Structure formats: structure tokens, C-alpha cells
Amino acid sequence: MAVPSSAPYTYTWMNAPAGAHTLSAVATDNGGATGTSTNVSITVVSGICTGTGPGNEYGYEVSTTGGVVSWKFIPLGATVGSTLAILYTRTGTGGYAGYTMTAQGGNFIYSQTWPANTPLQFYFTYRVGNSGLEHNSSAAPHAYTTGTQCATLATRATIAAALLLYPNPVQHTLTVELPAPATGPLLVRSVLGTEVLRQAATGATVRLDVAALPKGVYLLTVPLADGPVTRKFVKE
């Protein structure tokens, strides 16, 4: 990526693609000897939030850059070929204001300036293909807060991979290291789905006493803010 040659030996990675990345650093002294750091895993989140409309008739993207909120309306299914899309936005409980979106390569775009951290509601009116029939999603408006950074699927995968449980196989005590605070108790189930153990998480490390469990394969489920993570372990 880069070779900084002067202290403090920093590097700024511009326009990093969203997703999970593993980085390491190689240091070289004046004599030419080198040393490599341990790998560091990071996740770059995307600033683009996405969703779909009722009946999957359209998809949308919304993001904030420098105080400017940008929307993209993406026709799907029978809506492909649409010749019109109108964006309606509001904040709070006031009325909606409508804006005709600009056609761009089969999609429609529109941008407007909003203060940071403004909670918005929005919906679309659109033509279904070139039929002239118009639909709208006013009954199920979407929500977005300006400046929101939406996590990619890689974020959840990285969190799941960071959850550690050991020893595995285990005889007496199973140690679980949580990558993020648990949102509820940890559950252990048999492979048949029967709950056999439940324990609250009181910190980043949880120790489960599994000595009384019969030998076999079990599933540990940890509830996290990004969704539950399930891992398998073997009781000897």
C-alpha cells in the first residue's frame, strides 16, 4: 500500500473499499533487518444505505456526503423501464415535500441538503414500466438519519469470526470471549434444538459450566446487536 520513510510512519488509506481487510506492517532498520507485525483485521463500512419497496417493485440507495443527502431509485421487476419517479421527504410529523427525480441509466437520482443527524422519512411515487400506471409507497415510508454509515455484511461476518470459545472439545468449563456486548443470555442447545443451558453475560468473557452435559455436539448461540451468532462445540 505504501512505504512511509519518516517518523511517525503513518499512512492514510483513502477510498478504501467496503468490507473486511487484513493489514500488517513490515519494519526495516538501517541495517536492512526486517520484522513483520501481527495481522490486524479491520472492517470498512459503506456510507450507502439500501432497501426495497413494497412488493420488491423498486430498490433504493441513500447516503450523505458533506451534508448533501443523495437518493437513488432503482426500478425492479415490472417497474423496470419506468419513466417517472418522485421522491417525497419530511422530518418530524410535518407534511411531505415532493421532488421529481432525474433519470440516470434506467434509475433515478435526487440530492438535497439536510443538517447532520436529521431523522427523515421518505417514500416514492413511480410509474410501473412504461404502462402509465402509477404506484407509491406512502403507506410504508422509509426512514433514514442523515450521516448514517450503514454496515456491510462483512461487518457481521467479522464479528462472528471474532467470537472465541475454548477449549473445544471441552470437558468442564467452556470459555466464551465476546467480540461485542451480548444483548441477552447465552443459550446452549442440543443438535435436536433442545435448550440445555442458559447463562447471562456479565462481561466480555463468559465461562459456562458444561460438566453435567452428556457427551456430544452442542450449539452455542450468542445474541449480539447485529444478530445472533451460533457456534458449535463438542462435549467430551
Q: Please write the tens of the pLDDT for every residue from 194-228.
A: 889 999 988 889 999 999 999 999 999 888 776 67
Residue 104 banded pLDDT, cuts 50, 70, 90 = very high
Distance CA 196, CA 184 (A): 16
Residue-wise pLDDT tens digits, 132-170: 899 999 999 999 989 887 754 445 566 667 788 899 999
| Domain 49-145 annotated CATH 2.60.40.10 | yes
49-145 and 163-235 agree in CATH topology: yes
C-alpha cell at 189: 442447545
- Grid coordinates 500500500 are at which residue? 1
| Residue type at position 100 | T
- Grid coordinates 418530524 are at which residue? 92
Q: What is the pLDDT of residue 34?
A: 52
Mean pLDDT of the 188-196 span:
88
Q: Are 48 and 150 in contact (CB under 8 A)?
A: yes
Q: What is the pLDDT of residue 198?
A: 93
Domain residues of the chain, as ranges?
Answer: 1-46, 49-145, 163-235
- Please state which CATH number belongs to domain 163-235: 2.60.40.10
Q: Flag whether the pTM goes above 0.75.
A: no
What is the Cα 87 distance to its own chain's centre? Answer: 25
Judged against a pLDDT cut of 50, whether residue 15 lies above it is answered with no
Q: What is the pLDDT of residue 32?
A: 61
